[in-house]
Amino acid sequence: MEKNSLFDNNKRRREILTKYTIFVFIGYIITQIVTLIAHLFHFSSVSYSEILFTASTVLGATILFLIIIRLKKTITTGFSNFAFFGQFAVWLVMYTIWFFMLREIRVMALFFALMALVFLLANSRFIQSMIIAISATIIQILGSYYAIFHLGQRGSFGLEIFFTFCFLPSAIFIAYLSENYSRQRNELKEARRTAERNHDALLVEMEKANKLNTELEKAMKVIHEMAIHDELTGLYNRRHLMELLNLEKKRADRTGQLFFLIMLDIDHFKKVNDTMGHLVGDQVLRVVAHKCQDTLRATDFCGRYGGEEFVLFLGQTTREGAHICAERVRRLIELSQFPELGNDFQVTVSLGITEYQLKEELSKTISRADKALYLAKNAGRNRVESVIQTG
């Protein structure tokens, strides 16, 4: 952003210097045209060769300054001052030459000094305008004296002094206006720089806000995941499990597509906690949870119902499919290795299956699955039983 700002300032200074140089050249051209008219109407004895010489000189000087401004890579304040005083030196020489070329109507030079000040009104400061005004005044007084009393040219020295002092207040007023314009330009530049700084600061704050929002979204996502998952097993907790089951119940009531619930309980889990400790019991819970999760399809889900009990949801399947899934889970857990328990203890689970019936309360379905689970427990554990209600 800072690099772009420097580029814009450089471009703006180059444009101002170019415009300033062109304005000066326009002033030169107007003076030459008026001089030519004065020659054609015999108001002055200036010759064509003199007019051609001054016109060629100012054209060459203008082209030279435009080339220098164009080739300069970085337009600094020092270079801007150099361009002004360089062109002022050229103007001073050309104004002096032109003053003596006008001869009888040399007082007309004052009006073109005023014109130069007006041209520079929007692009110069008070001191620059005053330098031009004072220079024109000195040239006019000394030049008139030299032309009349030493060169013998026609004219009234007193009248030309009078015109000169009439010129001076106007020149000072224009210089004062230049100062006002310069101050307004500086205020506008400062306002623009302040706006750019504020814009940059706003972008930084917006970036911080976006970063904060992203972090907040991540934090909210983490909080949401923590709110719906069981901390120990990583499965859905009971509250979120019931929310999902209620949604599936509504979908089943609407579409007629039934689903199956499997209630799973770890056999003799209390014995694991009592003999091996709760840390080992927690490890058993985690392994059982992962086996359940790994067995299910992407459309199915499971959650920790409480303690060592888990509920598995199976959608879009048959009784046979539900039984195969439950048996697969049972077998995977039966074959799992738990070095912490030693060789004398094997982790097994009992599972009860039921099918949701249209329009029934969800608690009734869960109760039926729980009944099937206890049938498996009473039948010797490490087995799958079903309680299916029809009609």
Active site residues: 308
**DSSP secondary structure string, 66-106?**
HHHHHH-SS--HHHHHHHHHHHHHHHHHHHHHHHHHHGGGG
Cβ proximity of 357 and 389 under 8 Å: yes
The phi, psi pair for 43, rounded to 5°, reads -80, -25
Alpha carbon distance 111, 129 (integer Å)? 15
Residue 261: closest CA among 376, 369, 389: 369
Eight-class DSSP state of 151: S
Name residues whose C-beta falls within 8 Å of residue 27's C-beta, 6 or more positions apart in sequence: 112, 115, 116, 119
Strand bridging mode 309-315 / 259-266: antiparallel
Alpha carbon distance 256, 235 (integer Å)? 28
Q: Which long-range contacts (C-beta less than 8 Å, at least 24 apart) are formed by 5-10?
A: 5/193, 5/196, 10/74, 10/75
CB burial string 194-223: b at 16+ within 10 A, e below? eeeeeeeeeeeeeeeeeeeeeeeeeeeeee
Alpha carbon distance 118, 26 (integer Å)? 12
Q: Is 330 helix (H, G, I), strand (E, B) or coil?
A: helix
The two three-digit tokens of residue 161, written as one number = 């002094």
Sheet holding 349-355, edge to edge: 301-306, 309-315, 259-266, 349-355, 384-386
> Would you say how long the chain is, in residues?
391
